[in-house]
Amino acid sequence: MAGTALLGRLAWQFGTLADIVQETPRVASLYFDIPEWQGHLAGQHVDVRLTADDGYVAERSYSIASPPEDRRVALTVERLEDGEVSPYLVGELRLGDKLELRGPIGGYFVWRAGEDRPLFLIGGGSGVVPLMAMLRHRERMKSKAPTRLLYSSRTLADIIYRQELDGLASAVDGVAVYHTLTREKPEGWTSFTRRVDEAMMQEVAWPKEQMPAVYICGPTTFVEAAASLLVSMGYPPLSIKTERFGATGGSA
Amino acid sequence: MGFISRGFRGKRRDTASSSRVPPGQYVVTDWPVLSAGPTPRVNVDQWTFSIEGEIDAPKRWTWKEFTALTTENITKDIHCVTKWSKLDTSWKGVSVDTLMDGVDTAAEFTTVFSDGGYTTNLTLDDITGGKAWVAYEFDGQPLHPEHGGPVRFLVPHLYFWKSAKWVRGIRLQKEEHPGFWESNGYHIRGDPWLEQRYWGD
C-alpha cells in the first residue's frame, strides 16, 4: 500500500505480460503478473522502464486500471504513433514478455471504498483509466457510495471500457454513466455530443450541498475546463482532485 | 548488463543535449501542466508575498512593491518528476537572495506556500546562493495562471514540483516539515540528477 514506500525505496520489479485486451483501435489493456507486487490504491500509477540493447533507457508513468482486489495489475495504454514508449507497449510487447516497472506511486489522486460521500468522476479520453480503477474498486468492495461518471470521448469507437461501463451502470446501486462525444453524432445516440460545458455540468454534477468528492483526469485543456466550471458553480476547490496529462501526450 | 526490453529501440536524442537531461527524463518542446486541483484565479490587487516564521520582523510586499524589486533574467533547464524536461526556459523574477537581504534567521528549513493551500519544503541552502527565484514572467510574457501565474517559485535544480505555483510566501523553520507532494509519496529533496523521485529514492 502507499505507506510501504516509507519503508524503503520503491524497487524496480518485473511484470510478465499475461493478457492483452484491445479496448479500442488505439488503446489496449495490458495485464501483468507481478510476483512481488505489494498492492495499490485505486487511482495510483506506476513507472515503466524500457532498456534497449545498447543501454538506452526510457521511462514513463501509466495509471493502473485494475482495482486493488485483482490479482493481476492492469495498465491501459493509448498508442501514440509518434511516441517512444506507448507504441512499444501497444504493438511490440507480447504475451510472456517481461516489463520493468515500479510502484505504486501517488498518494493524492486516490479513492478508497468506505468513503460514503457521493463520488463524481470526470474523464477525458484515456483519462478514464484511473477512474476505472476507482469504479472497479467500488464494485468489488460493494461500496454504496452514490457515483456518477462523466466521460468525454472523441467518437463512439474511442470509448474505452464501453461494455464494462454499461454493465456497471445497469447494476443495482449502479453507477450513473454519462457519455459525451466531441467529434461524432452517431445515429440513435441519445447522450451528449459536445465538449463539457456548464449546462452539462448542471445536469450531471451532484449538488454541491452533498459535498461530493470529485476526481478529474484527462488532457490539460479538458481538466482545466471541467475544474473551472465546478469552481465557478461553487464547488470548493479542495474537493476537486485533478490529474492532467499534457498536450505532450505525443512524446509519451 | 542487466535486463533488456526485447524489441525496444527507442528514439535517440541528439548528444548535444543528452548530457543536460537527468536519468529517466525525456525532452519536450511544449510545456505540460500538472496540478493537484483547479487553477486558482489570483487577483494581484489582493496579492502579497511574505517571509515569515523564524524571522524577527516578517517581511511583506504588495504586488506593486514586489514588481518594483530588482529582477533577474534566468535561463534554466527544468525537470518534472513525471519525466519531462524542458531546456533553456527563460524567466524574469526576483532572486530569493534579494528577498532575504538583511534577514537574520536561525532557520535551516523553509516551507514555500501558495494560494489553494499547496506547500513544498526546501532547505534554506537550496533556495539561497543564486539557486531560486520568485518569477512572474515566462518568455517575456506574464506567467499564465495554468503555469502558476501571476507568480510562481522557481528552483530549477530540483524537480519542478518544488517550483510552487501561485506562490505567496516563504516560512522559515528550524525543522523540516514535508510539503504537499512530499507527504504524498514524493521525495523530501527531489534532486533530478540523483533521481530522487519518491520516498526512499
Q: Do A231 and B8 touch (CB under 8 A)?
A: no
**Residue B34 touches chain A, beta carbons under 8 Å:** yes
Which of A100, A109, A228 is facing B39, going by the closest CB pair? A228
Q: Hey, where are the domains in chain B?
A: 46-194
Q: If we measure between CA atoms, which residue out of A63, A19, A18, A11 comes closest to residue A42?
A: A63
Question: In which band, very low, low, confident or very high, does the pLDDT at A246 lie, cut at 50, 70 and 90?
Answer: low
Strands B72-79 and A57-63: unpaired
Distance CA A235, CA B37 (A): 12
Which of B10, B180, B181 is facing A56, going by the closest CB pair? B10
Which of A220, A231, A246 is facing B38, going by the closest CB pair? A231
Q: Which residue has the cell 506547500?
A: B119
Mean per-residue pLDDT for A191-212? 97
Residue A64 has pLDDT above 90, yes or no: yes
Which of B10, B26, B32 is facing A52, going by the closest CB pair? B10
Q: Do B23 and A50 touch (CB under 8 A)?
A: no
Chain A residues touching residue B24 (CB < 8 angstroms)? 47, 49, 57, 59
Q: Which domains does chain A have, with CATH numbers?
A: 2-105 (2.40.30.10), 119-251 (3.40.50.80)
Report residue A87: phi and psi, to 5°.
-65, -25
Which of A51, A61, A93 is facing B83, going by the closest CB pair? A61
Distance CA B169, CA B151 (A): 10
The CATH topology of domain B46-194 is Sulfite Oxidase; Chain A, domain 2 (3.90.420)
Model ipTM?
Answer: 0.87
Please say whether the beta carbons of B47 and B63 come within 8 A. Answer: yes
Strands B133-138 and B141-142: antiparallel
User: E-strand spans in chain A?
Assistant: 13-22, 27-33, 45-51, 57-63, 73-78, 98-105, 119-124, 147-153, 176-181, 213-219, 240-245
**Residue B36 touches chain A, beta carbons under 8 Å:** yes
CA atoms within 13 A on the CB side of B30: 11
Residue B1 has pLDDT above 60, yes or no: no
Average pLDDT, chain B: 94
Among A239-248, B40-49, B122-131, the range with the most confident prediction by mean pLDDT is B122-131
Q: Do B5 and A55 touch (CB under 8 A)?
A: no
Q: Do A88 and B146 touch (CB under 8 A)?
A: no
Q: How many CB pairs under 8 A join A and B?
A: 126
How many C-beta neighbours within 10 Å does residue A167 have?
13
**Residue B22 touches chain A, beta carbons under 8 Å:** no
Percentage of chain B exceeding pLDDT 70? 97
Cell of A114: 468506505
Residue A168 has pLDDT above 90, yes or no: yes
Question: In which band, very low, low, confident or very high, does the pLDDT at B148 lie, cut at 50, 70 and 90?
Answer: very high
How far apart, in Å, are the Cα atoms of B192 and each of A229, B33, B157? 35, 19, 8
Q: Do A55 and B183 touch (CB under 8 A)?
A: no
Shortest Cα distance, chain A CAs vs residue B70, angstroms: 33
